[in-house]
Amino acid sequence: MAKSNFEYVRDFEHETRCLPNTWIVVRIDGKGFHRFADLHDFVKPNDTRGLTLMARAAADVMFEFTDVIISFGHSDEFSFVFRKNTAVFNRRAEKLSSLVTSLFSSSYVFHWNDHFPDTKLRYPPAFDSRIVLYPTDENMKDYLSWRQADVHVNNLYNLSFWSLVLKGGLKPCEAELKLRGTLASDKNELLFQEFGINYNQEPPMFRKGTTLLRKSVDFLGKGKRTIVMPYYCDIIKKDFWDTHPELLKQGKAGSVEFHEGMEFFEIKKCS
């Protein structure tokens, strides 16, 4: 490339490289998603279409970045965990953050009509992101545990709040006042006594969030393919990590047996 007198301006550029031998977590969050959800008539407190669309976009990130070993999301956020030894983009933080966010955002729009066929996208959604590094396996697992614990806290409150508003006839300010200072046990009692809702019987997707794992599956003798599978399970307990040992070993995708009705994502190819 020919040089010019203006190339000195590149000296002002600065790159931040993620520390070696650390888990890299990129977390994306929706910007102004309360307004976005209202304008697009999302079902409250949980819209399965919106949650599945988020998972679809996250799966596309995992297909593009094969060093993402696990991702977890709920509501308008998703976290992507890159293996400790990843060398993708030389571990440049700005590159990782910007590309994950860009791909997630474009995928969300690309798949919109698949999940909201009767709702026109009124304006482009936006997501921001941050990168956090975790030096130990326990640190990384605790991060994911924190995000899943947050799902429970938020979902229990939102289910109680919107039950009071949509079924109980309270104004939002009245529902907020009634829930102020309540414990989880109080909310569970309110849901059951006033609305006949057993919180533990709510869909696991709402209570546990969505965990995405890369798996290898043999499609009935047609050869193995790599897919991304959603799990709606407890990732805080040791059982999860024992069931998927390849995650901490940073090995190849675990194998699963194909069965009719199994839920999974594949790369969407243009016809």
- Distance in Å from the first CA to the final CA of the chain: 38
> Is residue 32 marked as binding?
yes
Residue 220, SS3 per DSSP: coil
Predicted confidence at residue 5, as pLDDT, reads 87
Q: Annotated binding residue at 254?
A: no
In this prediction the pTM is 0.93
pLDDT recorded at residue 230: 96
Q: Considering only 18-27, 43-52, 95-104, 259-268, which range has the smallest mean pLDDT? A: 259-268
Pair 219, 258: CB distance under 8 Å: yes
Give me the CATH topology for the region 16-147+204-271. Answer: Alpha-Beta Plaits (3.30.70)
Exposure string of 30-50, with b = 16+ CB inside 10 Å and e = fewer, is beebeebbeebebeebbbebb
Percent of the chain with pLDDT over 70: 97
Mean pLDDT, rounded, of the chain:
94
Q: Where are the beta strands (DSSP E) in the chain?
A: 23-30, 68-74, 77-82, 127-134, 210-218, 224-231, 254-257
Q: What is the pLDDT of residue 195?
A: 98
Place of tokens 């709606």: 232
Look at residues 103, 134, 108, 124 and name the one whose alpha carbon lies nearest to residue 248.
Answer: 134
What are 17-32's pLDDT values in tens digits?
999 999 999 999 999 9
Q: For the residues 222-245, what does the mean pLDDT come to?
A: 92
C-alpha–C-alpha distance, residues 88 and 95, integer Å = 9
Write out pLDDT tens, residues 123-140.
999 999 999 999 999 999
Q: Is 258 annotated as a binding residue?
A: no
Give how far Cα 188 sits from Cα of 22, 44, 268, Å.
Answer: 39, 18, 41
pLDDT for 78: 99
pLDDT at 10: 86
Ranges in the chain annotated CATH 3.30.70.3000: 16-147+204-271
Is 31 annotated as ligand-binding? yes
The angle, 0 to 180 degrees and rounded to 10, between the axes of the packed helices 137-162 and 172-179 is 120
Contact 162, 168 (CB under 8 A): no
Closest to 242 measured CA to CA, from 83, 226, 26, 234: 234
Alpha-carbon span 6 to 2, nearest angstrom? 11
Q: Which residues pair with 29 in a beta bridge?
A: 77, 128
Q: How sure is the predictor about 220, in pLDDT bands with cuts at 50, 70 and 90?
A: low
Residue 74: beta bridge partners?
Answer: 77
pLDDT digits (tens, 9 = 90+) for 153-202: 999 999 999 999 999 999 999 999 999 999 999 999 999 999 999 999 99
Neighbours of 168 (CB within 10 A): 16
Backbone φ/ψ region at 227: left (φ over 0), alpha (ψ -120 to 50), beta: beta
181 belongs to an annotated ligand binding site: no
Is 76 labelled a binding residue? yes
d(CA 243, CA 52): 24
169 marked as part of a ligand binding site: no
The reply, when asked if residue 209 is annotated as ligand binding, is: no
Is residue 125 within 8 Å of 116, Cβ to Cβ?
no
